[in-house]
């Protein structure tokens, strides 16, 4: 039976180095894994699905469709609102989803007919039923989280795979039990892990016929026993895979041996800071800076590249933090480093803490990309933070550093190493203009950010509820 309807799913332009085509028309990562998962919940016999990633192609605003679905993170949600406004002006209903609108659904409803808060799998049947009856409106939110058992497979065939280097995204779990204050994961997906059955994971991998896999989990090593079960299933399949893991469990030799045997070529680790006090302040207690150097050496012995993620702008950061971090990263021979600026994303614990301290300067969502300064730093001036961030990035990706860090012993794949370093070297910094990098002051938003899942820690719950109430009072005064 032929489909009678058509739905257009859109990822707005993010304009980041990871999603912008830079070499041979290819982007480093595909950002549409969430949209492909949503597409998997839509009956194929009822609707044709068109997926557009604006990073690699223009949007056809004249396309005749029954519904437009837009997913956007904070840094490109304004572009998402522009797209939504354009389609609604043509009489086409729009629904929005994603992390930002899950925390600020009332803001999104100024531009969309409906908003999905949190996970989409358990509410999409209601969305489609309301669409059929012409009553699509308001907020759709499930009263529970999906168990990840019997989840529909993402529609990977809709992806224009030739435009990306990494496009084989596979999610094996949701949730994270670390509760870092700057991260949305705990209040978006929960502090407990939920696992997809291993047989379902393997079936999806076999279906997509993609040998280069990126495990789209917050912390693949978060439960070592489970990670080992998945990796055993990977063995002998000719896979090459990468994943994000925590630094504590990455020391486990059993995990690393299985990772190497099953095809792991890179692990991404949020080291964040080389200061123990900073890590305690942001509740990143699983990290031990004294063990970082040894961990990088250990991963290299297993033939695994290390993508180290570091952040600047924490309370307690001093001018010396940049040079010290850079020296450490080069001496330890990190394969790749991603440097970012602390960003108080709406609805995170960090957001509410900074709101309470009146520390946030700009609420321009375009600047919330971890590459702009949107708050007043403590212990550093905005210019010191700006200069230090750029100097660290430039120093790590200088030719001298790359020669020193290159895997001359071939313990890691030199071609993979060169590809990732080329992308990060060319596009890792969004702007070098001080006037652009330091966001201009703006008024506070007129809508309160509210996490889809409330924090379990009592002090954090009180912080969230107090901050939301204060913003609601402000909104009433503005109206």
Render pLDDT for 342-393 as a digit per residue (tens, 0 to 9).
999 999 999 999 999 999 999 999 999 999 999 999 989 999 999 999 999 9
Average pLDDT (198-210) is: 89
Fold equal for 5-140 and 167-434: no
Q: Which of 49, 45, 47, 52 is nearest to 11 (CA)?
A: 52
Round to the nearest angstrom and report the end-to-end CA distance of the chain.
Answer: 51
pLDDT at residue 476 in the model: 43
pLDDT at residue 471 in the model: 56
pLDDT at residue 172 in the model: 96
Q: Where are the domains of the chain?
A: 5-140, 167-434
Condensed to tens digits (0 to 9), the pLDDT of residues 242-288 reads: 999 999 999 999 999 999 999 999 999 999 999 999 999 998 988 99
Give the C-alpha separation, 144 to 148, whole Å.
12
Judge whether 20 and 81 are in contact, CB under 8 Å: no
Give the angle 14-18-22 at the CA atoms, nearest 5°: 100
pLDDT at residue 443 in the model: 93
> Does the pLDDT value for residue 430 go beyond 70?
no
CATH number 2.160.20.60 given to 5-140? no
> Does the pLDDT value for residue 157 go beyond 90?
no
Condensed to tens digits (0 to 9), the pLDDT of residues 307-338 reads: 999 999 999 899 999 999 999 999 999 999 99
Give the C-alpha separation, 167 to 30, whole Å.
5
Judge whether 95 and 136 are in contact, CB under 8 Å: yes
> Does the pLDDT value for residue 89 go beyond 60?
yes
Condensed to tens digits (0 to 9), the pLDDT of residues 125-145 reads: 999 999 999 999 899 999 999
Q: Which of 33, 339, 26 is nearest to 214 (CA)?
A: 33
Annotate 396-422 with DSSP letters as a single string.
HTSHHHHHHHS-TT-SS-HHHHHHHHH
Select 167-434's CATH number: 3.30.360.10, 3.80.30.20, 1.10.150.120, 3.40.1530.20. Answer: 3.80.30.20
pTM confidence score: 0.92
Give the C-alpha separation, 227 to 52, whole Å.
33
pLDDT at residue 255 in the model: 97
Beta-carbon contacts of 268 under 8 Å, excluding residues fewer than 6 positions away, are 242, 243, 244, 245, 307, 309
Predicted confidence band at 469 (pLDDT cuts at 50, 70, 90)?
low
Sign of torsion, CA 63 40 185 455? positive
Q: Which of 40, 337, 9 is nearest to 170 (CA)?
A: 40
Q: Which residue has the higher pLDDT, 478 or 63?
A: 63
Beta-carbon contacts of 112 under 8 Å, excluding residues fewer than 6 positions away, are 70, 84, 88, 94, 95, 96, 101
- Mean pLDDT taken over the chain: 91
Predicted confidence band at 78 (pLDDT cuts at 50, 70, 90)?
very high
Give the relative orientation of helices 458-478 and 349-356 as an angle to the nearest 10 degrees.
60
**Residue 469, both tokens:** 């109430």
Judge whether 388 and 312 are in contact, CB under 8 Å: yes
124-128, 191-195, 323-327, 425-429: lowest mean pLDDT where?
A: 425-429
46-50, 78-82, 475-479: lowest mean pLDDT where?
A: 475-479
Per the listing, tokens 């200069």 go with: 387
> Does the pLDDT value for residue 475 go beyond 50?
no
pLDDT at residue 312 in the model: 97
66 alpha carbon, distance to own chain's centre:
29
Give the C-alpha separation, 397 to 385, whole Å.
18
Q: Which of 46, 37, 98 is nearest to 67 (CA)?
A: 46
């Amino acid at each position: 039976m032929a489909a009678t309807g058509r739905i257009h799913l859109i990822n707005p332009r993010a304009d980041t180095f990871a999603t912008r085509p830079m070499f041979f028309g290819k982007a480093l990562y595909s950002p549409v894994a969430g949209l492909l998962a949503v597409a998997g919940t839509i009956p194929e016999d009822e609707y044709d699905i068109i997926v557009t990633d604006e990073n690699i192609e223009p949007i056809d605003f004249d396309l005749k469709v029954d519904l437009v679905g837009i997913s956007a993170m904070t840094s490109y949600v304004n572009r998402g609102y522009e797209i939504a406004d354009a389609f609604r002006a043509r009489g086409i209903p729009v629904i929005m989803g994603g992390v930002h609108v899950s925390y600020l659904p009332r803001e999104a409803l100024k531009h969309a007919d409906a908003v999905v808060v949190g996970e989409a799998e358990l509410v999409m049947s209601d969305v489609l039923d309301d669409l059929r009856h012409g009553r699509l409106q308001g907020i759709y939110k499930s009263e529970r989280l999906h168990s990840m058992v019997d989840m529909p497979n993402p529609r990977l065939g809709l992806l224009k795979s030739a435009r990306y280097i990494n496009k084989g995204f596979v999610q094996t779990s949701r949730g994270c039990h670390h509760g870092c204050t700057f991260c949305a994961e705990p209040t978006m997906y929960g502090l407990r892990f939920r696992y997809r059955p291993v047989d379902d994971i393997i079936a999806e991998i076999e279906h997509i016929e993609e040998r280069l896999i990126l495990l789209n989990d917050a912390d693949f090593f978060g439960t070592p026993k489970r990670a080992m079960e998945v990796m055993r299933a990977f063995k002998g399949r000719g896979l090459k895979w990468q994943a994000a893991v925590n630094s504590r469990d990455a020391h486990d030799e059993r995990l690393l041996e299985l990772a190497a045997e099953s095809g792991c070529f890179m692990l991404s680790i949020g080291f964040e800071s080389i200061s123990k006090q900073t890590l305690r302040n942001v509740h990143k207690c699983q990290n031990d800076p004294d063990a970082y150097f040894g961990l990088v050496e250990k991963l290299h012995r297993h033939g695994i590249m290390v993508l180290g993620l570091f952040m600047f702008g924490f309370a307690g950061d001093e001018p010396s933090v940049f040079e010290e971090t850079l020296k450490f990263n080069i001496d330890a021979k990190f394969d790749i480093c991603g440097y970012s600026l602390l960003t108080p994303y709406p609805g995170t614990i960090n957001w509410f803490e900074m709101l309470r301290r009146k520390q946030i300067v700009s609420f321009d969502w375009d600047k919330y990309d971890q590459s702009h300064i949107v708050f007043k730093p403590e212990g550093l001036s905005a210019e010191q933070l700006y200069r230090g961030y750029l100097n660290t990035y430039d120093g790590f990706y200088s030719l001298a550093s790359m020669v020193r860090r290159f895997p001359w012993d071939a313990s890691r794949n030199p071609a993979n190493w060169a590809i990732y370093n080329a992308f990060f070297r060319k596009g890792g910094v969004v702007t070098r203009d001080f006037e652009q990098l330091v966001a201009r002051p703006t008024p506070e938003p007129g809508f309160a950010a509210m996490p889809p899942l409330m924090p379990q820690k009592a002090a954090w719950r009180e912080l969230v509820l107090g901050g939301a109430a204060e913003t609601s009072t402000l909104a009433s005064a503005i109206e």
